[in-house]
Chains A and B, each alone.
Chain A
């Protein structure tokens, strides 16, 4: 049994419009799973659903989220609050808005410790200092009393990681944690996450749109499009030989290997991601797909799995 088992997760609006459609995956201890897709594919909603932090108007409409045997989707409010931060934690893209601007960062990390471990002030502060050292915060002791706006983007993200790991959770969800950071800082933060994962045996689910980041840190990758899972497999192999046309076209759309415009235009993907309420019939990617066949509009291709790899495409339905 995997540490986290998501089965046919459905997330949507009150009127029944689905933003996440029947997504299933496992997350093992010590593994980094990258969930990849562009805006509107439902990757963030999936992570928020696991934490039961969906915005107002959006709810889990179906499926199960089994964490260590417990179905998180059906857990009571109080029990879920005990889980959050304690056994399953999340960090977000924009640390400036995720941190309270009027509290010191040391205080915000100490608060997590106090909430879940009932520690007293002095103990909590000492733990906060330990955590700052854990996340390799430069001049950790001095930083405890700094306010978020006094820190750089990279330092703020370290604070978020410290708060998230305060209670040694089993699962860490990271929603685009480095997208807003400079590329040199991104490299440092991703390396930090990998190290911490190794030290603490975390299960890490990393949500990103950047396939280069996936190549850097992920063991397995799950590609999402229009709310559905379209491909899944071991990261390096999948990126070298993608099966689903969306994954292939997404890879081709970036300038790789020092390519210049003199080598010809980039391989665009024509059209746009469809709105959840206006999905095309059959395969959602079909209008933009270079390999589309007439039968792609007939039905949504089922996700077919075989020895660790899976893809939802009629070209590969055996």
Chain B
């Protein structure tokens, strides 16, 4: 029995206009993500992956096409509509510096979604916030700290805790580990895998790093100049990609350091 995909993107197009002209950042993209699975979206700078992420999140209004979450369209015209969508899809951003308000404590940052949605009272929110911090491997003392007092890896954990606050079904990860040291990348990737397994999350994992995407994703979609040029099971894309761009991407990856010649 086929379940309804958690995310269905159909013929999506987003045009960005600037004084220099109009760019089709997303140019007719269609794909589905089955619930509880991870789709890895791979592409280089300018391919449109970030614009696609923001469109799914509801921050950018598409010029054409549809986005369905759990089978329903979720328009974002009014504030209540935006809040309804927020309970379904959240995002972890790339920049551990810029994605957290420098003036707020970590505890406040993680509680913010609950405050905005009027969830519970002060005590229950605080309990949930501490529970979230624990989930992402941060000590409860982190709640009183400010973002600039924490390392990049810790900040990303805060960003993940915030994304989990409203218990969304779909989490978009936009280059979540690209700005982190290698030894910390492994920690955060393992955390995301654990959370997905424990909470039954669906992930859209965006990255330029194919090896990382191969690790975490069930299926991989390759994006180039606003279009998805290839999509398939992760193992297949990794070892037997068909599209010339996919192969060029794979060929350009630095070799495994411990590879034989």
Chain A–chain B contact at Cβ < 8 A:
yes
Specify the chain A residue showing the minimal Cβ separation from B248.
A184
0/1 per residue, A240-257, Cβ < 8 Å to B?
A: 100000000111011111
Which of A11-19, A258-266, A294-302 interfaces with chain B? A258-266
0/1 per residue, A191-233, Cβ < 8 Å to B?
A: 0000000000000000001111111100000000000000000
* Contact, CB under 8 Å: A182 / B215: no
With A and B bound together, what is the CA distance between A265 and B103 in angstroms? 35
Specify the chain A residue showing the minimal Cβ separation from B185.
A253
**A249-B183 contact in complex given A261-B193, A265-B193, C-beta closer than 8 Å:** yes
In this complex, how many residues of chain A approach chain B with their Cβ under 8 Å: the count is 40
Which of A77-85, A134-142, A168-176, A267-275 interfaces with chain B? A267-275
* Contact, CB under 8 Å: A255 / B211: yes
* Contact, CB under 8 Å: A215 / B190: no
In this complex, how many residues of chain B approach chain A with their Cβ under 8 Å: the count is 41
Q: Tell me if A153 is interfacial: C-beta within 8 Å of chain B.
A: yes
* Contact, CB under 8 Å: A182 / B214: no
Tell which of A183, A216, A268 touches B183, judged by Cβ atoms closer than 8 Å: A268
Which residues from chain A contact B256 at a C-beta distance below 8 Å?
Answer: 212, 215, 256-257
With A and B bound together, what is the CA distance between A265 and B187 in angstroms? 9
* Contact, CB under 8 Å: A266 / B211: no
With A and B bound together, what is the CA distance between A293 and B45 in angstroms? 45
* Contact, CB under 8 Å: B183 / A269: yes
28 residue pairs A–B, Cβ–Cβ below 8 Å: A182-B208, A183-B44, A184-B44, A186-B252, A187-B251, A187-B252, A187-B254, A211-B257, A212-B254, A212-B255, A212-B257, A216-B255, A251-B257, A253-B183, A253-B185, A254-B186, A255-B189, A255-B214, A256-B211, A258-B211, A260-B234, A261-B193, A261-B216, A265-B193, A268-B183, A268-B186, A269-B183, A270-B187
Binding site for B on A (CB under 8 A): 38-39, 153, 182-184, 186-187, 209-216, 236, 239-240, 249-251, 253-261, 265-270, 272-273, 288
Binding site for A on B (CB under 8 A): 44-45, 151-153, 181-187, 189-190, 193-194, 208-212, 214-216, 234-235, 238-239, 248-249, 251-261
